[in-house]
Structure 1
């Protein structure tokens, strides 16, 4: 999705800064400081996510080993998002092999669901579910940076 498309979608769905701040607070309370910082770097720019999101957050150790430049933050965050707010219980209903759209229109996430404690989005396992509960933004902690097939 181009920056223009993303901005267009954002203007169609006004973003609630209170939701963003609540989600960032929830992320911090569970020690997802790096991911919260990336969101804050976009906050106040012309690029803002819609409120209907679920983020999959790598922990700070994983983020620190990743080279994300300032102009890649938006893409990184969208690669780690689904454009709908989903609690873990909602996700758990997706059978293995289900493809769901990521925040980037050109990328799909494949679900691998083998029961609680064994749920993957692409290569990343959910290790901390329902981190964000104070806003319409939902988020879950994962154990890796999400990778996509080149196809």
Structure 2
């Protein structure tokens, strides 16, 4: 594993565990391929329901948002294994603002946590930028499935 990838993973985990309220979100710049490789699940999905999270067992001071989703297109992994996703509120927590009815491109770890540093963001099918991203991700999917 490259040093850059190891640092990115460490910072991502730290952002989920300890987030000072006054800090601004700061992410290590990763390529689309690196984001794809780091994620357990990569998919396009639509948020169907959201709810407030008051704390986590590993960090009682953490709060965020839980989202239920409908998978529209799977690019890696099996997102149906996830019951929901979790994200911070944004600001210093780098959370993804989840809106019911909105479509997103998700890069998710095993726990179901997402943030903007992993590449998760809104996704608008049919736009030139998002169709280009989807094409690149499909190429990674093909490369990943080959022996």
Fold-level match, TM-score > 0.5? no
TM band (smaller chain) = under 0.3
Please report the TM-score for the alignment, with normalisation by the length of structure 2: 0.27
Q: Which has the higher strand share?
A: 2
**Which of these two proteins has the greater Rg computed from alpha carbons?**
2
Q: TM-score normalized by structure 1?
A: 0.27
